[in-house]
Amino acid sequence: MGRFLLVTIQVDMHDQLALTLQDDLTQRIVSDRAKGVLIDISSLDVVDSFIGRMISSIAGMSRVLDAQTVVVGMRPAVAITLVELGLDLAGVRTALNVEKGMALLQESVG
Amino acid sequence: MKEIDKNPLAAVFRKHEAEILAEWTAEQAARGTRRDPAQEAELRSTSKEFLGALVAAIREGSASDTAAPNWAPVRELLGELSSRRATQGYSPAETATFVFSLKQPVFGRLRRELSDGQALGDALWQATLLIDSLGLYTTEAYQKTREQVIQRQQRELLELSTPVVQLWQDILALPLIGTLDSGRTQVVMESLLEKIVETGAAIAIIDITGVPTVDTLVAQHLMKTVAAARLMGADCIISGIRPQIAQTIVHLGVDLKEVTTKASLADAFTIALQRTGSRVETARAEMA
């Protein structure tokens, strides 16, 4: 049985850092044989379309590597902004917090 | 000779305030239809107050520019009077007429005091302008009061009509009443998402029995709400779809995506219970 990875995204994420994150994550998924990735965005007060796209990309990459992604910790204001921006992150699963996210991953993987 | 005495109108007001008040009150009593003694007493004291403030304003400064600072007490008084009258059910015309009726005694007094035609003409014109602008001010104040009432009611309506209730563990219900415009959608989304965070709910049942029409805009707003809830980890079920609405949805080609829809709230609740791992059993009565 594979392992789960936890990614925490902070506000000051810019282009270079995002690319680095994607690199690191995809490598870790393969090297750890991870089956699940938890993306924790609970420390994000605001999101813009850049971060929205980045989350979608990460989820896509994980899927390609046969790992499930769950995004957790979305704040109400952030959810509303994403929806208004038209980024409903289709295909990305979500949970309210890390515990529920873990439960979700274990269900779908285990 | 004092500055204000050079202005005939101001002088007349100042010297004959008491007589003008007496004539005005008599005039109102003769004209008015409301003869309730309490109301008559109130009318007398209001007239006295108003005239007193008017004379004081003229004493302080210009007798023509009612927007000037010396007229502030008069404006305040008229504003209060207007608001009071508005809530008591008087029409704006009645309140304005109260002010306009001051012209009769004032004109009468001016005719008695000023013999020179030119001076009389000027004073009459000045008096007309002054009393007209004060009368108009009452209608403006009335409008403002009504608008405030309407705005307050709108706010209350918005708050009242978007409750989010917890039906069961992990299950929320959102009964929508009335049309869903972009403003309300914002309020709905915020309430729902906050409740999801508060209760950790996994399912939200949006009941649209009370939504009169569903067009493409309303459907869009609904989908936005569903998407926002999903981002918070909660699934939505839409219930209360009337036959008419179902037809409209299909005719308009509205895409509800993978959102589960049920005709009744009861059905939606049953599904929600199943999904959250609960079950409903009917207790059998024990036979003796």
* Residue B284 falls inside a structural domain: no
Q: Are residues B124 and B188 in the same domain?
A: no
Cβ within 8 Å, pair B227-A76: no
- A79 inside 8 A of chain B by CB: yes
- B121 inside 8 A of chain A by CB: no
Q: Are residues B217 and B255 in the same domain?
A: yes
From chain B residues 149-208, the ones with a CB under 8 A of any chain A CB are: 186, 189-190, 193-194, 196-197, 200
**pTM for the whole structure:** 0.60
Q: Characterise B240 by phi-psi region: left (phi > 0), alpha (psi -120 to 50), beta (else).
A: left
- A38 inside 8 A of chain B by CB: no
Token representation of residue B283: 């207790």
Q: Are residues B18 and B123 in the same domain?
A: yes
- The position carrying tokens 């796209």 is A53
Chain A neighbors of B200, CB-CB under 8 A: 96-97, 100
Min Cα–Cα distance to chain B from A32, Å: 27
* Residue B137 falls inside a structural domain: yes
Q: Are residues B23 and B152 in the same domain?
A: yes
* Residue B285 falls inside a structural domain: no
Q: Are residues B189 and B136 in the same domain?
A: no
Task: Provide the pLDDT for residue B173.
Answer: 94
Last residue of a domain, one of B158, B174, B198: B158
Q: Are residues B22 and B130 in the same domain?
A: yes
CATH number of A3-109: 3.30.750.24
Amino acid in position A75: R
Q: Are residues B143 and B257 in the same domain?
A: no
User: Do you know the residue count of chain B?
Assistant: 288
* Residue B230 falls inside a structural domain: yes
Last residue of a domain, one of B158, B184, B216: B158
A97: nearest Cα among A6, A30, A16: A6
Q: Are residues B152 and B179 in the same domain?
A: no
Question: pLDDT for B204-235, tens place per residue?
Answer: 999 999 888 888 888 888 888 998 998 888 99
Identify the CATH number of the domain in which residue B111 sits.
Answer: 1.10.490.70
Token representation of residue B138: 């009452």
Residue B186: which pLDDT band, with cuts at 50, 70 and 90?
A: confident
Question: pLDDT for A44-101, tens place per residue?
Answer: 887 778 888 888 888 888 888 888 889 898 889 888 888 888 876 767 888 988 888 8
Last residue of a domain, one of B123, B141, B158: B158
Q: Is the pLDDT of residue B236 over 90?
A: yes
Identify the CATH number of the domain in which residue B244 sits.
Answer: 3.30.750.24
Min Cα–Cα distance to chain A from B263, Å: 26
Residue B166: which pLDDT band, with cuts at 50, 70 and 90?
A: very high
Q: Are residues B184 and B265 in the same domain?
A: yes
Q: Are residues B121 and B69 in the same domain?
A: yes
Cβ within 8 Å, pair B228-A72: no
Q: Are residues B54 and B118 in the same domain?
A: yes
Residue A11: which pLDDT band, with cuts at 50, 70 and 90?
A: low
Q: Is the pLDDT of residue B237 over 60?
A: yes
Question: pLDDT for B98-116, tens place per residue?
Answer: 888 888 888 888 888 888 8
Q: Chains A and B: how many Cβ contacts under 8 Å?
A: 53
For B231, the closest of A88, A97, A101 (CB atoms) is A88
Gap between the Cα atoms of A54 and B8, Å rounded: 80
Q: The dihedral of CA B105, B106, B107, B109: what is its sign?
A: positive
Residue B158: which pLDDT band, with cuts at 50, 70 and 90?
A: confident
Count up the domains in chain B and report the number: 2
Task: Provide the pLDDT for residue A2.
Answer: 62
Residue B6: which pLDDT band, with cuts at 50, 70 and 90?
A: low
Backbone angles phi, psi at B121, to 5 degrees: -55, -50
Question: pLDDT for B33-54, tens place per residue?
Answer: 655 777 778 888 888 888 888 8
Domain boundaries, chain A: 3-109
- A72 inside 8 A of chain B by CB: yes
Question: pLDDT for A33-45, tens place per residue?
Answer: 888 899 888 888 8
- A97 inside 8 A of chain B by CB: yes
Q: Is the pLDDT of residue A105 over 70?
A: yes
Min Cα–Cα distance to chain B from A33, Å: 26
Task: Provide the pLDDT for residue B244.
Answer: 86
Backbone angles phi, psi at A39, to 5 degrees: -105, 115
Chain B: residue whose CA lies nearest to A98? B233
Structural domain range at position B220 = 165-275
Q: Is the pLDDT of residue B287 over 60?
A: no
Q: Tell me, what's the ipTM?
A: 0.78
- A103 inside 8 A of chain B by CB: no
Q: Is the pLDDT of residue B192 over 90?
A: yes
Question: pLDDT for B112-144, tens place per residue?
Answer: 888 888 888 888 888 899 899 999 998 988 888
Q: Is the pLDDT of residue B3 over 80?
A: no
Amino acid in position A17: L
Q: Is the pLDDT of residue B84 over 90?
A: no
Gap between the Cα atoms of B124 and B111, Å rounded: 9
Q: What element of type H or E holds B82? A: helix B72-88
Q: Are residues B122 and B219 in the same domain?
A: no
B84: nearest Cα among B124, B43, B121: B43
Task: Provide the pLDDT for residue B1.
Answer: 37
Which of A96, A98, A105 should we substitute to test contact with B (largest number of B Cβ atoms within 10 Å)? A96
Cβ within 8 Å, pair A80-B186: yes
